[in-house]
Amino acid sequence: MSFIDSHCHLDAAVFDADREGVIRRALDAGVETMVAIGSGDGPPDLEAGIRLAEAHDCIYATVGVHPHDASKATEETWSRLATLAAHEKVVAIGEIGLDYHYDFSPRETQRLVFARQLDLARDAGLPIVIHTREAWGDTMELIKAHWPADGRGGIFHCFSGGPAEAEQALELGFLLSFSGIITFPKSGDVRAALRATPLERLLIETDAPYLAPVPWRGRRNEPAYVVETAKKVAEIKGLPLQEVAAATSANWKRLCLQETVKDR
């Protein structure tokens, strides 16, 4: 039985002392693939995920500008992202989107940078990894305006909405990725969204080093712990763990490998 952690930040400084051990523990736990999100500390460095993917067969990468870093983007950012999107281990543009909780970048700047990355991903033929926090309406509006309704889809990472938001995202062809949040006692709406999401549209992730699932909540998260999230998915959906592992892995491979390697 094997698992895929569809979203982790292995470049984070909290892993500097034992990053290789973290990767080894994930492999030992049955996590065959990890997706290193390449937003890092933002422009001008856009290769945080690629550096890890080049060093490890088990790691793939994304590239993109996180909404927190939207104000750092320049014209050079766009030309560099377009080049990096063609890298053989880059599987998506992300994480991109809107974050109105922290407002680390002005909201209008976030919207412009998000829209431009949607266009870039469309031109590159890559799926997208969406971050949205307290910005659901604007996020959906921009996706509808800039993302092709051709079934290409993408991923709503660390899904934290309820059944209504899940339905909207699913109608647009997206996969929903669930994290350790589903193990938190007060996350009933997210668990309800999980129940409403078909198995063939599900992914699992850690968002490590953040959001460690119970029983590690409050500690540093790491990719090995995605297995605990998978166990909770199996419990909530009333399915064998092996079926959840197989389906979520197949879902990710269908979206992120078949669409990106077919012309390479």
Q: What letter would DSSP give residue 112?
A: H
Share of the chain above pLDDT 70, in %: 97
Most confident of 74-83, 145-154, 253-262: 74-83
Lookup: tokens for 165: 């938001």
DSSP 220: -
Query: Within the chain, what is the greatest distance between any pair of CA atoms?
Result: 49
pLDDT band at 120 (very low <50, low <70, confident <90, very high): very high
pLDDT at 237: 98
Indicate the pLDDT class of residue 151, thresholds 50, 70 and 90. Answer: low
Query: DSSP strand E in 134-257: where?
Result: 154-156, 175-178, 202-204
Task: Quickly state the pLDDT bin for 260 (edges 50, 70, 90).
Answer: very low
Distance CA 225, CA 76 (A): 37
Into which CATH architecture does domain 3-261 fall?
Answer: Alpha-Beta Barrel (3.20)
Cα Rg, the chain, nearest whole Å? 17
Would you place residue 262 in the very low, low, confident or very high pLDDT band (cuts 50, 70, 90)?
very low
Who contacts 75 (Cβ-Cβ below 8 Å, separation ≥6)?
Answer: none
Cis check for the bond before 127: say yes or no (omega within 30 of 0): no
Buried b (16+ CB within 10 A) or exposed e, 148-165: eeeebbbbbbbbbbebeb
Instruction: Identify the residue whose tokens are 């829209």.
Output: 115
Q: What is the pLDDT of residue 131?
A: 98
User: What is the residue type of 215?
Assistant: P
Report domain extents, the chain.
3-261
Q: Give per-residue pLDDT as tens, 35-68.
A: 999 999 999 999 999 999 999 999 999 999 999 9
pLDDT classification of 214: cutoffs 50, 70, 90: very high
Two structure tokens written together for 38: 């390449």
- Annotate 108-135 with b (16+ C-beta within 10 A) or e (fewer): eebbebbbbbbebbbebebbbbbbbeeb
**pTM metric for this prediction:** 0.95
DSSP state, residue 121? H
